Amino acid sequence: MTDSRWEAVIGLEVHAQLATRSKMFCSCPTDYLGAPPNTNVCEVCLGLPGVLPVINRRAVELTVRTALALGCRIARHTRFDRKNYFYPDLPKGYQISQYELPIGREGRLEVNGRTVRITRVHLEEDTGKLLHAGDALETAGESLVDLNRAGVPLMEIVSEPDLTGADEARDYAVTLREILRAIGASEADMEKGQLRAEANVSVRPRGSTELGVKTELKNINSFRFLQRAVEHEIRRQIRLLESGGVVVQETRGWSEAEQRTFSQRTKEYAQDYRYFPEPDLPPLELDPAWVERLRASLPELPPARRRRLVEQYGLPEFDAGQLTLDAATADLFEATVAAGAPPKQVANWIIGSRPSLAPEHLAELIRLVVEGTINREQGLQVLEEAQASGRPPGELVRERGLTQVSDEAALAGVIERVLAENPRAVADVRAGRQQAIGALLGQVRQATGGRANMKLATEMLRRRLGS
Amino acid sequence: MERHLAVIEREEPRIGAFLRVTEDLARSQAAEADRRLASGEGVTPLTGIPLAIKDVICVAGVETTAGSRILSGFRPPYDATVIARLREAGAVFLGMTNCDEFAMGSSTENSGYHPTRNPHDPSRVPGGSSGGSAAAVASGEAVYALGTDTGGSIRQPAALCGVVGMKPTYGRVSRYGLIAFASSLDQIGPFATGVRDAALVLQAVSGPDPRDATSADRPVDVLSELEAGVEGLRLGVPREYFQVEGMEPGVKATVERALLVLERAGAELVEVSLPHTDYGLAAYYIIAPAECSSNLARFDSVRYGLRVEGENLLETYLRTRRQGFGPEVRRRIMLGTYALSAGYYDAYYLRAQKVRTLIARDFEQAFLHCDAIVSATSPVVAFPLGAKLADPLAMYLNDVLTLGGNLAGLPGVSVPCGTSEGLPVGLQVLAPQWRDATALRVARAYEVARD
């Protein structure tokens, strides 16, 4: 916040749906999106009488990978606990989660050069979804329950309240998503609900070490909304405190339409979840040798790769950031550079829309442009054809006679002709109207069928007209 | 099989062992068994043998209510693992037997439907919670039956009805499809008229199950020692188990005579001590209700079973659960909820778990000096209906000799060992974990020596 008398204290709880094929405790598939309600279910995730959970090994593995990527200490002995509460989207009346012994604890995530401490990473199951005919469960005339999502593996990543602003909160979530994607733990698509963030926000007089009363922001389904919701909430709390009011501990939602947070549920008394060890599952022992193998198999993570791209290739921070948004883009960049193209040029060709071209071919194409054999426009044309046909760019250039006209004598002839045919434009340029030079260049381009080395043509034209 | 349906028709008005008789299913299974026997394919020791199933074990398509009104009308869409295994073996299902609601009780009087009567004296209870299964076997309605044992719910009714009942080692038999009471204590086991039959049934339903993470991948060898006798075995007699509150002198004398029979058969009796016995009941009545308070939360009227509409969701929850659960179930849900609540968890649940560990250690220590432990199964014989209904603590004392086996996860058999006041008395044999074969061996040796 810009207000210098106050500072914000923010912690994030992020839930990520793990990229497993089956649910946490049964064999139902996890791709429930689009399925008719209550069809992606079995007796286990419906919580029918008599059923028992069986742990999804892959979910444990992906959670350990995440905890490792976040630098957590990995528990040797861990277990699942029951979190008891009544809600119609919770078929068993309890959620199988981890309370006392999470898989990972005490990690860290670097966000824009600052270290945010990670409290814990644990594994649990998702709930179903409710559809209310009305605003909320309490006031709805009817509510519908869809249990397709019930039992989908969910990982909770809790940060310490180390974040100090709305932008930083968003950047934390974005960085976290990059890591989850890079290690294959989650597809982490916020719009699909695969990544959900809850922010705990409080403010305090700058320099104070005591924490203010916090509110919990929920129902945030995009990074932009997260940033706006936190920003709004910080401002709301400061206004409240400055006008002599007090912040009430409560859960607040974000209304994108109204651009404000609103009270959802006051926490007058703490919910007692009556956690106890899940008796249907034996304790989980994580073999340290297996954990070490997972650690060794982790790919280079986006923040580290970004730093390396800057250092190793001399790229600007912005380019490195864009290239490391996903691993495939960064991989293409490095392979293309290795195939002999200059790094900055490669970055320019890749950022924005990643070509689907073999690195050797992309390098060849970039060299053709850099060395002046073809111009940039021709390059884009060749790229398109190479992508469609899979043929080497050099071959296409030769075949189509696409080489650019860089021969000064040839260009001089064209330029003289154009000048002769456009006396008015020539006069305009001479009279100081520089934009008229564009019209003349257009004529040169046209006269060479788009093959003129435009950089050279521009130079020659300026020289000739003395402008 | 027709003979058993006829016995059921004759005995049920007097006994009330069944909640539902599945005649059509039994007839079609019997016909299938006949085909197997004729062709000789897929024949097992259980092919064509009719059994009764405690109403807490899910049978696909057959109403399964756990003896509770809250599950009235619930037909599971799936088979419990033990049921699937028995179908595979060619068994014939006679029906679902009465029990205390959600297996909570020691007399079957807590059934949400009707009480069951003891075939030896219909004015008395059959024990519980698997009273219907015990009574069905004792009255000849079924050749054998499945029950469940959380604190003694197989062994105690077996003792009171004069049949053999066995609770296997925790993890020996899959709990998948067993409507849970207390997950860390529940185990499915057989009732039969003799030890050999009980062992055959156990053999058929045992073994690891990928659907139950607490089932153990251990070799199933429960028949291996069955006829080996007790010559040379050391049998521990825990002094605390003969001094429990409310032990009837007639029961004690009958069991002591049975111990002499075992001694004459070649066993060496050694005194052992289980010093934490006095704390077992308290620990059990914290842990079991705690787990039950969570296990029974799913009965919320939203997806299956009883639904009593209210003004809003909370009212619907409250009304359904108030009407659907009987007083004993409600009492245990409240006890368990309390024991798990913030501020009480350490003092109750955690402390009870520590006691549980101490009790398991007592048994480990005792088994250093003996191969099995022998005692009475129940301190009392079958009592009149209604005698203990008003006094839950008196009812809880029925389990004092059996629940240690559940807390420690041990296998235990109750075998009839005579009568007191004309009513059956059971001898309990407890063995170390996974030594189910030893427990059956001692019980079988007693049976042979007795006859």
- Going by C-beta distance under 8 Å and a sequence separation of 6 or more, which residues neighbour residue B324? B68, B69, B70, B71, B299, B301, B305, B306, B308
| Rounded Cα distance, A201 and A164, in Å | 9
Task: For each of the domains in chain B, give its residue range(s) and CATH number, in order of start.
Answer: 2-205 (3.90.1300.10)
* B304 close contact with A: CB closer than 8 A: yes
Per the document, the length of chain A is: 467
Site from B83, B211, B312, B319 to mutate, A interface, most A CB atoms within 10 angstroms: B211
pTM of the predicted model, to two decimals? 0.85
**What average pLDDT does range A129-147 have in this prediction?**
75
User: CA quadruple A158, A162, A165, A169: dihedral positive or negative?
Assistant: negative
Whether A86 and B184 lie within 8 Å, measured CB to CB: no
Q: Which helix (H) or strand (E) holds A97?
A: strand A94-97
Residues of B in contact with A48 (CB under 8 A): 76-78, 303-304
Measure in Å the smallest separation between the Cα of A272 and chain B Cα atoms. 6
Q: pLDDT tens digits for B184-227?
A: 999 999 999 999 999 999 999 999 999 999 999 998 888 989 99
Active site residues per annotation of B: 54, 129, 153
**Residue B331, both tokens:** 């009492």
| Rounded Cα distance, B50 and B63, in Å | 18
Residues of A in contact with B184 (CB under 8 A): 279
Residues of B in contact with A86 (CB under 8 A): 297, 300, 317
Q: pLDDT tens digits for A394-438?
A: 888 877 777 777 777 888 888 888 888 888 888 888 888 878 888
Cβ(A301)–Cβ(A69) under 8 Å? Answer: yes
Closest residue by Cα to residue B69 from B83, B55, B54: B55
| Rounded Cα distance, A368 and B156, in Å | 90
All CATH 1.10.10.410 domain ranges in chain A, comma separated: 408-465
Measure in Å the smallest separation between the Cα of B340 and chain A Cα atoms. 5
Cβ(A227)–Cβ(A169) under 8 Å? Answer: yes
Site from A52, A147, A148, A272 to mutate, B interface, most B CB atoms within 10 angstroms: A52
**pLDDT value, residue A106:** 96
| Rounded Cα distance, B367 and B365, in Å | 5
| Rounded Cα distance, A32 and A148, in Å | 6
Q: pLDDT tens digits for B367-381?
A: 999 999 999 999 999
Give the residue with greater pLDDT, A269 vs B202: B202
Least confident among A137-141, A145-149, B127-131: A137-141
Averaged pLDDT score across all residues of chain A: 89
- Domain at A408-465: CATH architecture: Orthogonal Bundle (1.10)
Please report, rounded to a whole number, the percentage of residues in chain B having pLDDT higher than 70: 100
* B312 close contact with A: CB closer than 8 A: yes
Q: What is the ipTM of this complex?
A: 0.94
Residues of A in contact with B349 (CB under 8 A): 276
Closest residue by Cα to residue B376 from B411, B419, B436, B406: B419
| Rounded Cα distance, A275 and A142, in Å | 30
- Going by C-beta distance under 8 Å and a sequence separation of 6 or more, which residues neighbour residue A352? A322
Cβ(A252)–Cβ(A266) under 8 Å? Answer: no
